[in-house]
Amino acid sequence: MFLSMQPVSWSDISYYDHQILPLVRKHKVVQLNKTDTRFANNELPLEIQKLRCRVNFNALRFTSQIEELGRKVVKILREKGPFLVLHLRYEMDMLAFSGCTHGCNSEEEEELTRMRYAYPWWKEKIMNSEMKRKEGLCPLTPEETSLVLKALGIDRNVQIYIAAGEIYGGASRMAPLAEAFPNLVRKETLLRSDLKFFQNHSSQMAALDYLVAIESDIFVPTYDGNMAKVVEGHRRFLGFKKTILLDRKLLVKLIDQYQNGLLSWEEFSDTVKEVHSNRMGNPKKRVVILDRPKEEDYFYSNPHECLQLLDEPLRRR
């Protein structure tokens, strides 16, 4: 028997000293069953921040089977050259939860709405999809993603590993991306029978994608969910590996202007490149907004206390 609880979000050290530690002493084992934003980003002792990095990026391990499969996928990809991992968050549950239906037909919109109402713990039910899209709060569609990758100058023949579940709309929805970048690959096509023990376990499949993502030459998330943020932080920790952090709010505006004939391809591409020249996972100090922690950079996407910043002297190892 043990105590299971959810810690209070964005808490500092005093909360864990005065509320959690006595419970650990009393029960010996305490399960913290949600941990993604339970610790403050900023204003914590340096030793604690460095400990978080050791836990996230040194101590944390997946099962040996998952890590072995991850190495196998990376080896297969590396044998054919460089590869880009695209975290394409255009799955049915993601769209239903976020209320984003851009690119969907009326039947699909109704299906996504029904799914949203089927989950009572998804509190927000009525949403304006186009308004959310214009605010940059929706994952990019496969078509939008293909335009952005082309505008950024990504090589048409590069291997693109799709780190995602089943894409909503299937092959027809993926067609613009597949036409623009024919070397699309997925774990299901690379591993086939090796995945039979994991296919009904979405978290284990995501763990496999995570391992491939941190090893890729380029990582591009189309939505900034928890996994994308942790991969971003891990890649910073590994030496600021190239991670293209898309400015979705500006991108959808530019895409609409281009598709409506208000921008030429050259103008569109030049603007996309300029906007993202400093959004490549390069070193930067984390944003601090003490009274609005949800709007800060998350520690696990930018653990700068643990990283070698470019304006600092080289640390001895």
Residues 102-109 have a mean pLDDT of 93
Of the two residues 197 and 7, the one the predictor is more confident about is 7
The encoded tokens of residue 137 equal 């709060």
Residues 167-171 have a mean pLDDT of 94
Q: Is the pLDDT of residue 315 over 50?
A: no
Whole-Å CA distances, 166 to 169, 224, 225, 260: 9, 18, 17, 30
CATH number given to 63-90+139-301: 3.40.50
Q: Which amino acid is at 108?
A: E
Q: Is the pLDDT of residue 311 over 60?
A: no
* pLDDT, tens digit (0-9, with 9 covering 90-100), for 21-71: 999 999 999 999 877 788 999 999 999 999 999 998 989 889 999 999 999
Four-CA torsion 294, 296, 302, 303, nearest 10 degrees: -90
Residue with tokens 């520690």: 299
Q: Which amino acid is at 238?
A: L
| Domain edges within the chain | 3-58, 63-90+139-301
* pLDDT, tens digit (0-9, with 9 covering 90-100), for 256-276: 999 999 999 999 999 999 999
Residues 174-187 have a mean pLDDT of 96
The separation between CA 92 and the C-alpha centre of its own chain, rounded to angstroms, equals 16
Q: What is the pLDDT of residue 250?
A: 98
**pLDDT, the chain, mean:** 92
**Predicted TM-score (pTM) above 0.75:** yes
Percent of the chain that is helix, strand, coil (3-state, to 5): 50, 10, 45
